[in-house]
Structure 1
Amino acid sequence: MTLAKLFSLIQYPIPHHLLSRLVGLLADCRIGWLKNLLIRAFIKRFKVDMSQAVESDPRVYPSFNAFFTRALAAGARPLEDGLLCPADGTLSQWGAIDHGRLVQAKGHRFSMTELLGGDPRAATRYQSGSFATVYLSPKDYHRVHMPLAGTLTEMVYVPGRLFSVNDATTRHVPGLFARNERLVCHFETEHGPMVLVLVGAMIVAAIETVWAGQVTPQSGRVERVRFDRPIHLAKGAEMGRFKLGSTVVMAFAEKVDFDALSGKAGSPVAVSMGQRLGGEPGTSAAPATADDEATASAD
């Protein structure tokens, strides 16, 4: 048995939510010496580059969570053209949604219906579209931005487990992103429907959005909020943030030509927020070879 497999197995009996809530309390601690100790240790362990932050002095942050969700200095992430990457991290999978199913990792797929909290009607919109998955590691900038301009129509909180979402767990826990607690954000764009799914993970204390503040954790049932008053967010604008790291799955009803990723299929790709991933959905038909190459990144 590999270490990765063993790591995934020992997570099943762990009290995910209790552990995460306890870590969340520690991360919100405002005792000066303790929060400074945590921040300094984290910067050293993960080699965090504070020169890109609006506030580069780690002692100024009132809590570890404030440091972790720090804002970047103006110009640190210039916005390119086309479809933008929503966050710093690792692009683990991308490509076509095949009959409503997405690639998680080699040998593992999950359904759009499951990801969206058991909503087959919403999932039908993405039956033949495209998707991309970005994993945010502990060292990354943890605010999530809009890959396209869009108008928020519905937000869905989906309860679930809190498995780790690192590479080892992704390769060994079936349906991981459709099992973990998550926040589903539906948008309408000029390029068709778009959904951003913010996936919780072990020791992720909470997920926040710019329109509702902290959203998770909540009750143990699916909760839907419709927005009658339009909430429009510009391309590249912040839409949410993670208090400790996790994953973003984005999906589009129209095909995306991931031209900026040509030749990179087969292994994870380091990405930055604002970086071009490809053309805007539906602006050009993605060639078969691009879809085949993207699918090959997991199969």
Structure 2
Amino acid sequence: MGLPVVQTGDKAPLGKRLFILLQQLIPQHFLSSLMYALARSEIGFIKNSVIRIVNWMFDINMQDAVVKDPLAYPSFNAFFTRALEPASRPLDSNSTTIISPVDGAVSQAGHIESGLLFQAKGIHYSITALLGGDAETAKRFSDGDFATIYLSPRDYHRIHMPVDGKLSSMTHVPGELFSVNETTTSLIPGLFARNERIINLFETPAGPMALIMVGAIFVGSMDTVWAGTVTPSSKRISHQEYLDQPHAEISLEKGEEMGRFNMGSTVILLFGKNQVNLDGMIAAGREVKMGERIGTRIQA
């Protein structure tokens, strides 16, 4: 894809620019493949060492986990994608509410204006590009609403349904694997439309919804409950339809697990025009927990 164009309006410090340059120079996919293998190693001293280091670096709360001993997991990836006690993430069960699909921090949220989503100060990006160039699907979300939620390494990494939904399609878009932290999102235009991602389209009581799983550095793979581990087999976009195929119909209830990240990354939610109200419920910087209310659907 060539050199990333770094946002210059804020005159970012040299250290941040070097951080971006380093990400561009390193073999992102090769390093992510190595991490994929390391994270699944069941050799005791390897997986225990990695778990201890990550646990120490990010002060991970294990009290919510079903298995509370971090070294009891068979691999680092099993530890990283650990299940939580259901009582630790109560669901807002009101039929009109939209819940957070993940634990994380809200990067941005708001309206989709003129086919653009807000990424960071001075940076917008195209919804069509985010959706892998699918202009027809982009029209379904024109003037709608979006929320971008960042998952840090300390967060719970399973992804759940914000509302009841029937899976319409899944599209895997190969791409870069830049970090998706605050520094990178503020400096690389169109970051989320450049990184590898899985676009999951659902038909819901709140109209069409896209739940987009964005890959990042060291996110060697992403999982969905219907397709298992999704990894790029080529540099081409792959697409699978699910509606009108009774043998492949996938319906999930609000709060039900739909996938997971194998290492941290970002989820982007898209809703159609006049379908949901996110105003005042989520704002940039707010931390959210899976299951809590982040909006309501607008009832006709």
Deviation of 1:187 (Å): 0.3
Provide the rounded CA distance (Å) in 1 between the counterparts of 2:72 and 2:234.
34
Which of the numbers 254, 263, 269 marks the counterpart of 1:244?
A: 263
- Show the counterpart of 1:257: 277
Please give the secondary structure, in 1, of the residue aligned with 2:179: coil
- Show the counterpart of 2:9: none
Which of the numbers 64, 78, 87 marks the counterpart of 1:52?
A: 64
State the AA in 1 paired with 2:292.
Q
1:10 aligns with 2:30: no
> May I ask how many residue pairs the two structures share in their alignment?
280
Query: Does structure 2 retain, via aligned residues, the 8 Å contact 1:91–1:270?
Result: yes
Provide the rounded CA distance (Å) in 2 between the counterparts of 1:146 and 1:128.
22
The 5-angstrom pairing of residues 1-299 of structure 1 reads: 1-2=12-13, 3-80=15-92, 81=94, 82-227=97-242, 228-229=245-246, 230-255=249-274, 256-261=276-281, 265=283, 267-280=284-297, 282-283=298-299
Query: Does structure 1 retain, via aligned residues, the 8 Å contact 2:163–2:253?
Result: yes
Please give the secondary structure, in 1, of the residue aligned with 2:171: strand
Instruction: Name the TM-score, length of structure 1 as normaliser.
Output: 0.91
Please give the secondary structure, in 1, of the residue aligned with 2:74: coil
Deviation of 1:259 (Å): 4.3
Q: How many percent identity over aligned positions? A: 50
Please give the secondary structure, in 1, of the residue aligned with 2:146: strand
Report the RMSD for the aligned CA atoms in angstroms.
Answer: 1.3
Question: Any gaps of 5 or more consecutive residues in structure 2?
Answer: 1-11
Question: Any gaps of 5 or more consecutive residues in structure 1?
Answer: 285-299
Residue-by-residue CA offset, 1:172-225 (whole Å, 9 max, x unaligned): 011000000000000001221000000000010110000010012332100001
Query: Does structure 2 retain, via aligned residues, the 8 Å contact 1:85–1:277?
Result: yes
State the AA in 2 paired with 1:43.
N
Deviation of 1:260 (Å): 4.9
Instruction: Name the TM-score, length of structure 2 as normaliser.
Output: 0.90
Residue-by-residue CA offset, 1:96-140 (whole Å, 9 max, x unaligned): 010211111111111111011110001000011100000000000
Provide the rounded CA distance (Å) in 1 between the counterparts of 2:178 and 2:142.
27
Deviation of 1:254 (Å): 3.2
Query: Does structure 2 retain, via aligned residues, the 8 Å contact 1:259–1:277?
Result: no
Provide the rounded CA distance (Å) in 2 between the counterparts of 1:35 and 1:49.
18
